[in-house]
Amino acid sequence: MDECYEIFLSELGPQFSKVQPSDIEIAKFEGHLPQKLLEYWRLYGWGGYYDGLFWLVNPEDYASVVQAWLKDTAIENKEDCLAIARTAFGRTFLWNKKTGQNVTIVPLDSQIITSPPNKTVLAGDDTIPLQSFLIEKKSGSS
């Protein structure tokens, strides 16, 4: 287990309701999501943490929701926004490898929050931004 995932688990506790994706399911996201995320999926699967308050998810399960939320927005390459995680309260975290932009859907507040493009992701290195995203998740936040 790498140090990032250890920190993630130390903050959010053990995984439960694990679903182990097949190699075919993971392969669908090659080139669209960080290699490190795909590696975590291979090793640990999709599932819940911190008593269900945070989940790493299968992007296909959220594709229609993401499409509906982003439909009338000015977000570039919105078809490349893929859900990678969610909270128990519906906050959904999207990754866009093409633009380097992360998008968060916050249904309780009817908001979509976008980040500026991440230059590191645009340069082709998305490991550190992904690991930073995971490490920033704290047991007291949603």
> Any idea how long the chain is?
142
Give tens-digit pLDDT for 88-138: 999 999 999 999 999 999 999 999 999 999 999 999 899 999 999 999 886
- Residues with Cβ within 8 Å of 92's Cβ and at least 6 positions away in sequence, in order, are 62, 65, 66, 69, 83, 85, 86, 104, 105, 107
Q: Among 29, 30, 34, which Cα is nearest to 97's?
A: 34
Domain ranges for the chain: 3-136
The strand order across the sheet containing 54-56 reads 16-19, 46-49, 54-56, 82-87, 92-96, 101-106, 111-114
Give tens-digit pLDDT for 10-50: 999 899 999 999 999 999 999 999 999 999 999 999 999 99
Q: Which fold has domain 3-136?
A: SMI1/KNR4-like (3.40.1580)
